[in-house]
Amino acid sequence: MDKIKSFFHGVKKEIERVRWPNKKSMVKDSIAVLLFCFFLGIFFFVINFVVVFVKDVLR
């Protein structure tokens, strides 16, 4: 039982040391991730379109 208490005490101390992001930082980072996903989706769409086009031309 002491090991379990010690474990959770360590977890609590570690959580207190974490530097949590503020709202402004979270919004900025979330927008960056969404834009990256959007542009990556467009990139793969274009690559797929080109591959299908080349495949059809070579037939």
pLDDT tens for residues 5-16?
999 999 999 999
Q: What's the first-to-final CA gap in the chain, in angstroms?
A: 71
At residue 24, the pLDDT reads 96
Q: What is the mean pLDDT of the chain?
A: 95
Contact status, residue 44 vs residue 52, Cβ threshold 8 Å: no
d(CA 4, CA 26): 33
**pTM for this predicted structure:** 0.63
The yes-or-no verdict on residue 59 having pLDDT over 90 is no
Mean pLDDT of 32-56: 97
